Amino acid sequence: MAILNTEILGRMLLAHNFDISGDIVPALSREEFAQVFQVGLSAYEHLQCRLVNHPHWTVEILFPTNEFSPQQVGKMCAQALAEKRRSPTVEHSPSQQLNADTIPEILVLGGIKTTPPTSDSPDALQPGDWGVDVVETYSGAAFLQAIAWDATIAQKPPDSVFKVELREEK
């Protein structure tokens, strides 16, 4: 008797919201942004990451829902981006290397899509997928206030949204 694989994959699409001066923290291209997660999540063999061809969404992550919650994946994404920002790179001279004072706060804000898709593109957000904004900002609190996060999520079921906040100790 064959046993069927009944693993259910969750789908998360990431967009990058870079709310910082590029003079202090270098902006990441779409390819660099995707690579952050392809490399940073590679230790988790059941997570799949790829660059998508979409004007808003940049990265698709497929994850087994029996192993990871969307919030857990969001936290891993925040940690991968923070690690990228902490590590020295070729484009930074030692004087430009980011330190705790210049590493931005990282927010990972997710919500499940409950409305019909806005596009027939396979890389568009589909009902049941998680749309996730990965935000780099000077002040997470100010950013959340500017987008009215609390009001936006007030009427949503708690299991349909998540927020991860990551800031370096200064």
Strands (E) in 20-169, as ranges, are: 48-51, 59-64, 105-112, 130-137, 161-166
* Residue whose token pair is 């049941």: 128
12 strand-pairing partners: 61, 130
* pLDDT for 94 beyond 60: no
What is the per-residue pLDDT for 89? 58
pLDDT band at 24 (very low <50, low <70, confident <90, very high): confident
What is the per-residue pLDDT for 15? 97
What is the per-residue pLDDT for 90? 45
What is the per-residue pLDDT for 40? 95
pLDDT band at 118 (very low <50, low <70, confident <90, very high): confident
Please say whether the beta carbons of 114 and 160 come within 8 A. Answer: yes
Residue range 123-166, pLDDT digits in tens = 999 999 999 999 999 999 999 999 999 999 998 999 999 999 99
Highest mean pLDDT among 4-13, 88-97, 159-168: 159-168
What is the per-residue pLDDT for 167? 87
pLDDT band at 1 (very low <50, low <70, confident <90, very high): very low
Q: Which of 113, 132, 118, 126 is nearest to 49 (CA)?
A: 132
- Stretch 27-53: mean pLDDT: 95
Give the CA-trace dihedral at 37, 144, 23, 88, to 10 degrees: -30
What is the per-residue pLDDT for 168? 74
DSSP-derived letter for residue 91 is: T
Report the alpha-carbon distance of residue 41 to residue 19 in Å, rounded. 24
pLDDT band at 119 (very low <50, low <70, confident <90, very high): confident
Report the alpha-carbon distance of residue 75 to residue 40 in Å, rounded. 12
Q: What is the pTM of this model?
A: 0.88
